Amino acid sequence: MKMNMFHISRWASYAAALLMVAAPAALTSCKEDISEDAYAIKSMDTVSDMLAKRDDLSDIKALFEEVKLGKSANASSLLSVLSARGNYTVFAPNNDAVRAYVLEKTDGASQSIADLTYEQKELIAQNCIIDNGSQNAYELADFPSNGGTFATSNLKDRKLACTQDEADLLYVINGTSKVIENNLEASNGMMHVVNAVIAPSTNSVAELMGKAGNMRIMTKLLEITGYADSLKLRTQEEETYETENLNNAGSTKRFADFDFPFMEKRALGYTAFVEPDDVFKSDWGVPEPIYDEAQGVITNWDEIFKVIEEMCSTLIGADTTSGDLTNPANPVNQFVAYHLLDGSLSTDEFVHHFNEYGYNYVNALEPATKGYSVNVWDYYTTLGYPRGLLKITQLPDRVDAEQSFYLNRVSVYDDGITGDYHEIRVKNDNAPGQNGLNIKVRPTNGDFDNNALNGFYYPIDNILVITPETRQALGSERMRIDVTTMLPELLSNDMRGRKVAYFPTGYFKGIMNESSGTQIYYLQDGRVQINGSWRDYQGDEFLFSGRYDFVLQLPPVPVAGTYELRMGISNNSLRGMVQIYFGDSPNTTTPVGLPIDQREGKDQIPGNPWVKDDKLDEEAIRENDRNLRNQGYMKGPNYITVTGSEGKTPVRNQDSSPALRRILTTVYMEPGQTYFMRFKSAIETDNTQFFVDYFEFVPYDIVTSTTPEDIW
């Protein structure tokens, strides 16, 4: 966490320093010969002014005048919004683009926007505006170019993808809209002119896959296993949440001298990793589908399914369900479920870059998208039963110009005390497509529309299957899992690393049995405090306050065995004491150890064993680590660095207030079982904080090995 996070004295000192810097300028400006030019303010048009001067943008201007921001009767028009202060990125379709869209929607009957429904007008207008808030509007240099998405959603809460056309090198937004004029700077943002209306699909993930043409096999598998229905739109549930919480909309809750906005949305989304039909053929010898366009069916499905069923039974296990494909125990059902994540992930959200070793994010509010130094990964839980664990890894641009993503990549690293944690080699890479390991995610490159209304799908280069070999490989390494990846609602609502909020009871389905006194806050460095020297993994955290008592559902383990469970901690005087429980039911858990006091720093550990690494030689470092373990503690990972340190100061070695790991328990766990942790305040007061950042699930043979566990 930070140094510490809500120590207001630190922020006050920072503000005072700024005043001291500014003071000399104020004093020296008090002289008689001041040039009037010093007071001149550059006059620039707003976006609305720019639109008014362009005859070729009259249609979109008219739509902005009519469409309102919000549903209330007194909501402002978008044109008035674009005349106010702010930072807006506007992809304005020219008149030819708007009229072509109208012609399509009216079946060739009209080119006038007057013949559109209000919903159609709203779709055009809101999809082309991104409100960048306090951040700079996107100029051309900020555009992703390989099918990646802009970090900030548009006014329709949709992520927009961007690629660069190989022929004319023009940027293309969402696969259809070429940027034909760029970087038209306004006083309140940046406008770019596009040659087609930006209209992301309103299909569900499964429906959009079915339109791709080269994913017919997986589309059919989703249908017959019932997962197409699982991935359907949940708009009614989303609207119900908003309706039930209308009274809280726009409100904030004061906590630790900061105002946290109420979480007004609860979008439900999904992510699918999908083998195109040609991958099924090349990896498993599955016949190419013969598709009857008129009937909308695969005419050789029986032949295709026979091969898939045989492969699933061989690799996953024999069918004990009498061919019931909707039964989660069916091997084909398990195969399909392992491709699906609960939570919507655009490519920029696969992993979270912030304070990994060697990476300088430069600006906490707009982290750099290049200069990645080491592999970065995150773990996600798949659908189905038993739930699976899926690992997504991104390679750094120092070794991979494309910064490629891989599924289930298990690597050997330069992880010695004097190492730099670069990847030395990949484990278990002898049979891609057969063992479910090291599978590359294909970049979109604008070749297809994968941006559904409720999530995304991504083609992959080999077959993704969870076999015993897959499980053994994933279960052979320490699994460090950030709590944000355990909560799909955070992923689907564009929260991770981008917003702060407080949440009502019942918001997260993975957090249950909450007491009425439980208060939940999500924080991120840069949104609460600028470069605040936080010690958090990935620069964010959850704080639970009040007389909290809640249960957290844990991710699954890949293989059966004994695991040491650890929790990252960042103690300070504002924390409290927590009793932790563990069990295989949310309603039946047992205490693990004594209550943990999160107010204690390194100097309160019995025997005061913590010593800074650079004061020790390698053997002494190992001895110091053993002494800490004897007291139930470990230093924080060398992989995580203090925010604002340009990736140079590992939290393990921060002298004044280092991050630690607390060893919670050692327990036998199985992949087919769901486990839970309960956290209950051990202090009868309303104003303490309980800090939650990440957990480690460590196979016990790593803990007990004669080779010491690496410091990373």
The pLDDT tens digits of the residues spanning 222-277 come to 999 999 999 999 999 999 999 999 999 999 999 988 999 999 999 999 999 999 99
Closest residue by Cα to residue 63 from 109, 98, 103: 98
Question: Concatenated DSSP letters for 218-272?
Answer: HHHHHHHHTHHHHTS--HHHHHHHHHHTGGGTT-EEEETTEEEEB-------EEE
The percent of residues in the chain predicted with pLDDT above 90, rounded, is 79
Q: How far apart are CA 521 and CA 523, in angstroms?
A: 6
125 to 67, 129, 159: CA distances (angstroms)? 7, 7, 15
CB 401 within 8 A of CB 466: no
CB 275 within 8 A of CB 442: no
Q: How far apart are CA 265 and CA 270, in angstroms?
A: 16
Q: What is the pLDDT of residue 686?
A: 87
Residue 21 has pLDDT above 60, yes or no: no
Query: pLDDT digits over 462-474, tens only?
Result: 999 999 999 999 9
End-to-end CA distance of the chain: 17
Q: What is the pLDDT of residue 431?
A: 60
Cis-peptide, bond into residue 386, ω within 30° of zero: yes
Give the confidence band of 658 by pLDDT, cuts at 50, 70, 90: confident
Q: What is the pLDDT of residue 432?
A: 56
On average, the pLDDT of the chain sits at: 90
Question: Concatenated DSSP letters for 95-158?
Answer: HHHHHHHHHHHTTTS---GGGS-HHHHHHHHHHTEEE-TTSPPPPGGG---EEEE-SS--TTS-
CB 507 within 8 A of CB 520: yes
Query: pLDDT digits over 506-549, tens only?
Result: 999 999 999 999 999 999 998 988 767 899 999 999 999 999 99
CB 228 within 8 A of CB 206: yes
Residue 433 has pLDDT above 90, yes or no: no
Give me the half-sphere count of Cα atoms (radius 13 Å) on the Cβ side of residue 206: 21
Sign of CA pseudo-dihedral 612, 621, 540, 413? positive
Q: How far apart are CA 87 and CA 77, in angstroms?
A: 17
